[in-house]
Amino acid sequence: MAQQHLDPTDPTAGPVAGDALAAYLRAQATEFLRALRQHREAGGAAAANGSKEAADAARALRRSARRISGTLHTFRPLLDEGWSEGMRPELAWLSGTLAREHAYEARLERLLAALHRLSGSAPAVFPAQATSEARTEPRAEAGTRAEVRTAKAPLTVGAAKAGALLERQLTLARTRAHSAALQALGSSRFHAVADNVAVLASEVPLSAAATATATTTATGPPPGPGLRPLAAAAEERLRDAVTGLPLITAGHPYNSEALVHGLSTDTAPQPQDAPWHQVRLLLRLHRYAREVLYGDEDLVDVRILNAGQALDRHRDAAEAAAAAASAARTPRIAPATAYALGVLHADQRHEVEAARFMFQRAWTRETVGTP
């Protein structure tokens, strides 16, 4: 990505704030347009089911849409307000619509892999697997996702029926999400978004504050907020949200907290998950803000990376657990199917708990320091 990097040690960095921001947004907009072209070339809008190329292009579209949207949010005082306020919900709509198909597919894969693991037949992957300690149980070799799904595992009737039910429900949801994504990509609403992104690729509408900063440094009024204070504010929002998480509990292995509502009468998403999901979004905004400041990939903070992976796992497991619970409410299923779905639900809620533990470990490894 050809973009100007901001030197964090440069005390005169303020005036170039607008420039660095504009460069980042231009680069992401260019990525967006390239992905859109790829998606069209892959026949994305025509294919009944997405090809690999179309799926990759859709992922790239989502990736840059998220980054543009996040950047407009974090650095909004530096951008034309009306323009960026109008653009953000449209980008959120687009990336949300494009994400759903992939999410259903990944959820089904996760649940089927778990069903096989719980049947003692599929590869379980965890940190200790590589060790050579004595085992009382033979363990299958780690395999690929494809192997997991095609493994000739001796599933119980319940596990097999649960798998078939989940496959039916999530495949239907995925097909619908695919159609919705295709429809969205052909809509005039999408074309308006694409037109706006095309504008962004050539001319970033900076605010008066951002351009003023560049010309009145020495003599005029005090410069408006620069890049770094805005990025620091994004980090501060992240830190604040993390402070609200029950990290002491999460740091105690096997605290049983995530399954506390495993059998509750409430069918709504677990309210205890919401602050974690919120931290996930704020961590993403923090990451994008760092990209604006320090470039895309050249300064990877392992801690932020691990924390982000833990929160992704948290979200995926929480949604998979909800899908298992929801499948169990299907009328007229066999008790064995329901039993398997119950085991599966609890298993995924324990994955949620494990992800929180992972996050706690990653986050508290060292205290946050602005580089």
In the complex, which residues of this chain contact a copy of itself (CB under 8 A)?
Answer: 115, 117-121, 124, 126-128, 131, 133-137, 154-156, 158-159, 243-244, 246-249, 251-257, 259-266, 271-272, 274-275, 328, 333-347, 350-351, 353-354, 357
Write out the two tokens for 213: 């900063």
Give min distance, CB of 254 to a copy of itself, in A.
Answer: 3
Which residue number, 31 or 353, has a Cβ lying nearer to a copy of itself?
353
Which residue number, 115 or 185, has a Cβ lying nearer to a copy of itself?
115
Question: For the chain, what percentages of helix, strand and coil (3-state, to nearest 5) are there?
Answer: 70, 0, 30
Give min distance, CB of 104 to a copy of itself, in A.
Answer: 22
CA atoms of 257 and 307, how far apart (whole Å): 19
- Among candidates 35, 1, 4, which has minimal Cα distance to 21? 4
Give min distance, CB of 12 to a copy of itself, in A.
Answer: 41
Q: Side chain identity at 85, as an amino acid letter?
A: E
Which residue number, 219 or 267, has a Cβ lying nearer to a copy of itself?
267
Per DSSP, 137 falls in state S
Q: Side chain identity at 315, as an amino acid letter?
A: R
Give min distance, CB of 250 to a copy of itself, in A.
Answer: 9
Give min distance, CB of 367 to a copy of itself, in A.
Answer: 17
SS (H, E, C) 254-284: CCCCCCCCCCCCCCCCCHHHHHHHHHHHHHH
Which residue number, 93 or 339, has a Cβ lying nearer to a copy of itself?
339
Give min distance, CB of 169 to a copy of itself, in A.
Answer: 15
Give min distance, CB of 283 to a copy of itself, in A.
Answer: 18
Which residue number, 172 or 274, has a Cβ lying nearer to a copy of itself?
274
CA atoms of 123 and 120, how far apart (whole Å): 8
Give min distance, CB of 325 to a copy of itself, in A.
Answer: 8
Which residue number, 229 or 262, has a Cβ lying nearer to a copy of itself?
262
Which residue number, 98 or 340, has a Cβ lying nearer to a copy of itself?
340
CA atoms of 285 and 72, how far apart (whole Å): 10
Contact 363, 247 (CB under 8 A): yes
Distance (Å) of CA 300 to CA 60, 290, 305, 364: 20, 9, 7, 18
Q: Which residue has the tokens 């429900």?
A: 169
Write out the two tokens for 212: 């003023």
Phi, psi angle pair for 31, to nearest 5°: -60, -45
Which residue number, 357 or 363, has a Cβ lying nearer to a copy of itself?
357
Per DSSP, 324 falls in state H
Contact 206, 79 (CB under 8 A): yes
| Residue 79 β-bridge partners | 206
Give min distance, CB of 112 to a copy of itself, in A.
Answer: 12
- Among candidates 29, 65, 292, 203, which has minimal Cα distance to 211? 203
Which residue number, 137 or 297, has a Cβ lying nearer to a copy of itself?
137
